[in-house]
Chain A
C-alpha cells in the first residue's frame, strides 16, 4: 500500500461543492486516470481516500488536504499532473507527496485551521476590536442544533488572531481549532467584530497538525509560510 497526501484549492463556484461531493470527485478522477486506488477490506469495500476538516459551503480555500492509498507506487509529480488533467482548474491539486502508510489517518490528526478575512477600508478601530477579542476570557456565540440553539464559548478555540493593515486593506488571520476536540468557525469569530467593516472575502489557507516541532500542515509547511504573524 502506498499512501499520498495532497492539497487542493477550491475556488469560485466550486466552493459550493460539499465535502462528500469533493470526495466523490477525487475518487472518480483517480479512477479515470487509471490509478489503482486501494479499497478497504470487508463486505462493502470503500476507497481509501478522505479529506481532512470539512469546510462550510461558499468559502474559498487554498488548503483542502486529502489522503489516499494506491496499490502501486507512483511518481508524485506524475500523479499530481495526472490528477490535474482530470479536475477543473478551480479544484487544482497544489502539491502532493508520498507519506508513511502506517501513520494514523489525517482526519484524526488535524487540530487547527488558518483563515484569512480581507476587509476593505476604512479600518479605523479594527485593530482595537481584534485586540479586545484576544484579551477576552469568554466569547459566546449562538450555535443552532437540530431543535434548539445553544450558547457556546469559542474563546478556547481561538488560538490566535492577527491583523495586517496596509491602510487600504486589512487582512485578519485567524488561527482556529478544528477537528474532533472542538473548534470555531471563521464566521463565528467574524460575528463578534463590530458590523461596520466591509468584509470582502474569507479564505481558508491551510489546516494544521501538531507534533514536537509545533504546528505544520500535513505537507510539512509551517504557519509562518502563510501569514508572517509572529506569535502563533
Chain B
C-alpha cells in the first residue's frame, strides 16, 4: 500500500483519508475478480454515518470474488493537493485510484452533493459522461433514494440501481463477472444485458423528448433491451437480509459515531411531503430476537458506546418497549447509550426516548412540521396539538431537556394563518418550559424551519415550491414574531439551498450540463452551506438557457408527463393523485399499520389490504 504521509501532512483532519480502521476489509485488490468502489459524494464523517453504505459494504464483500472498498469526497484542501501533485483520487482501503476499479457505485442521498460527485469522478480520472468512457474505464453506478429521479444525473451514469440494493447488486455483479470472464470487450454488451435485469436503468438506452415550447414530453426507450418502465426492486425479507455486524470503527469523530440497528424499513405514516415514506414502502420489520442478537455482536465487534435504534419513525415499531427493555437488560452496567433518532410527536414516544437517557438533558426533537391542525391534515401528519403539547411537556418538564421543534415553511395551501398558528404553538410550548422552573442556560427551545421541497413520487410532486420572494417575506414574519417569544432560539435553513434542491429534485436530463457547468464554476460540497453560492448556480442554469426558479416552481398537471414517470416505484399514479386531492381537501389518510390500507397499489406489501379509507 502506498504511503500517503506527504498528502496527510498537508491537509486539515487527515484522519479522513487514513483508512486502516478496525473492521475495514483489507485484501489484495489484484486477487479480486470484481473490484467495486463504494463511493459517497460527501466527506468521510458524513458518508461513514450512512447506514446504506455499511449494508452494501457488508453485502458486496461477502459475494465470492468481489472486493468492495470505500471512497469519500476529498475536502477542498486535499482536492487541491491531488491536482497539484497529479495524484488521482484513491480508495481508503488499498488506495487504488478510482479509474482502476471495475465499477464505481455512488450512493445518491442529497441533491446538493451532485457536484461533489462530478468532482470525485474528475479527480478519480473517470470521464464525467458515460458516453466518453471506453474499454478499461470503470462502469459508474448509482443507487439510493435520488435514483428515483435519475434524469439530472443520467448522462453521467452507466447504470442506476432502482430500489433495495440487496436485491439488484448481487445479480448485477454476477453479470459483470460473466462479462469479464468472456473477455470484457464491448461495454455496450454488458450494459444491454444489465438493462434486462429488473431494477436496472441504463440511461444511455433511453432518450428524453421535449415539445416545441421546451416542455418535457417523456422518456423513450432506444433499444429492445430497455425496459419501460423500470420497476424498483423490493427486498421482501428484512429479517433474513444481510446486515453489518462488524461496522468499520472510525478513528475520527463522525456525524453519527455509533452502532446502528435497523428496526424496520419503510414507514407506515404516509406523510405526503416525504419521499422516503413512499419509495421505501412497504413497512418491513425485524424481530426483537434478531435485533437483540445483532446488537450484541455489533457492540462486541466495535466497542461503540452508543447504539441507535434507527428507522424512519422508530417509535412506530410495534415492540419498541420490549426491544428497549431487552437491550437495557442485556447491556446493564456496560455504559451503552441507546438512542431513538426519529420520534413521533407523542408523549409516549418522548417518554420512551427520555427514559433511555436516565433523565440526562440529551435533547429531544419533535417535528410537528406545520403550525395548524388544518395544515397538518393537508400533509397527513397525524398528530394533534394536544399530543404535541403533551410531548413537549414531557421533554421540558419531566426530562428537563432541550427541545427542538421542526417546521416546514411553504407547504401546499399554507397561508399567513398557518404561520400565525405556528407562532402560537411555539408560544404555548415555551410557556410550558417556563412553568417547569428550568434553571438559567441556553434557551431550552429551538425552532428550526426549513423550506418545503416538492419531491418526485410523492403526492406533492404536482405542487410548486413557494416563490423566493414569498419565502423571504414569510421567513421575515416568523423571525419577527418568534423573537418576541421568550426563551426560544430560531434557526433557519438557507432558502436558496432549498430552491436548488427543488430544481434538481424534479429536474430532467437537461440539467446534466447545468451540473457540469456548476462544477466548472467551482461548485463542490454545496451541502456544507459555507461554500454554497446560488449565483454560481444561476449562472450555470442560464448558460443552458434554463432557470432554477422555473424548475423549482413548476406545477405540472396530472396529465403532464413527468421526468421520472419511467421509474416505477410500485405505487400507482392514481393513488398519488388521490392522495394529492385528499390533501387539498384536508382529509387525512390512516396509517398503513392501523389495518386500513389506502390502496397504493404496491404488490409486495405484506400488510392486510382490505378496503381502507382513502381508496
Contact = CB atoms under 8 A, between A and B. Distances in A.
Interface of A: 12-14, 16-18, 20-21, 24-25, 27-32, 34, 37, 39, 43-45, 47, 57-58, 86, 88
A44 B20 CA distance: 31
Interface stretch (B129-137, B299-307, B605-613): B299-307
B301 A32 contact: yes
A30 B304 CA distance: 11
A106 to B, nearest CB: 22
Contacts of A14: 18, 20
B303 A27 contact: yes
B252 A21 contact: yes
B55 interface: no
Nearest to B257: A24
B43 to A, nearest CB: 16
In the A-B complex, list the 8 residue pairs whose CB atoms are closest, starting with the nearest: A28-B303, A31-B303, A16-B14, A32-B303, A21-B251, A16-B8, A43-B360, A17-B251
B188 interface: no
B127 to A, nearest CB: 31
Interface in B282-320: 299-305
Contacts of B300: 32, 34
Contacts of B359: 43
Contacts of A31: 299, 303-305
Contacts of B253: 20-21, 24
Contact of B335 (A13, A28, A29, A45): A45
A28 B20 contact: no
Interface string B160-198: 000000000000000000000000000000000000000
Given A16-B15, A30-B303, A32-B301, A39 B3 contact: no
A39 B335 contact: yes
B22 interface: yes
A220 B285 CA distance: 57
Contacts of A16: 5, 8-9, 14-15, 18
A47 B305 CA distance: 10
A58 B12 CA distance: 12
B3 A27 contact: no
Contacts of A45: 335
B249 interface: yes
A20 B253 CA distance: 9
B416 interface: no
B162 to A, nearest CB: 37
Contacts of B299: 31
A223 B361 CA distance: 47
Q: Which of B5, B305, B360 has the most CB of A within 10 A?
A: B305
A57 B16 CA distance: 14
B329 interface: no
A88 to B, nearest CB: 6
B15 A21 contact: yes
A29 B301 CA distance: 10
A47 to B, nearest CB: 7
B4 interface: yes
Nearest to B360: A43
Contacts of B8: 13, 16, 58
A19 to B, nearest CB: 12
Contacts of B3: 12-13
A219 B20 CA distance: 29
A203 to B, nearest CB: 14
Interface in B350-389: 359-361
A12 B304 CA distance: 26
Contacts of A20: 253
Contact of B303 (A18, A29, A58): A29
Q: Which of B14, B251, B304, B361 has the most CB of A within 10 A?
A: B251
Given A32-B300, A32-B302, A58 B9 contact: yes
Contact of A28 (B5, B249, B360, B361): B249
Contacts of A58: 5, 8-9
Given A24-B251, A31-B304, A58-B5, 9 more contacts: A16-B5, A16-B8, A16-B14, A17-B18, A28-B302, A28-B303, A32-B302, A39-B335, A44-B360
Contacts of B249: 28
A14 B335 CA distance: 28
Nearest to A29: B303
Nearest to B16: A16
Nearest to B359: A43
28 contacts: A13-B3, A13-B5, A13-B8, A16-B8, A16-B9, A17-B15, A17-B18, A18-B15, A18-B252, A20-B253, A21-B251, A24-B251, A27-B303, A28-B302, A28-B303, A29-B303, A30-B303, A31-B299, A31-B305, A32-B301, A37-B335, A43-B361, A57-B9, A57-B14, A58-B5, A58-B8, A86-B303, A88-B22
Interface in B1-50: 3-5, 8-9, 14-15, 18, 20, 22
A29 B304 CA distance: 10
A20 to B, nearest CB: 7
A88 B18 CA distance: 13
B360 A13 contact: no
B361 A27 contact: no
B22 A86 contact: yes
Nearest to B299: A31
Nearest to A26: B303
Interface in B238-255: 249, 251-253
A37 B300 CA distance: 14
A24 B5 CA distance: 22
Q: Which of B20, B304, B335 has the most CB of A within 10 A?
A: B335
A28 B304 contact: yes
A27 B15 CA distance: 17
B15 A47 contact: no
A86 B302 CA distance: 10
A218 B406 CA distance: 51
A91 B378 CA distance: 57
Contacts of B335: 37, 39, 45, 47
Nearest to B4: A13
A27 B359 CA distance: 24
Contacts of A47: 305, 335
B466 to A, nearest CB: 41
A68 to B, nearest CB: 13
Contacts of B251: 17, 21, 24-25
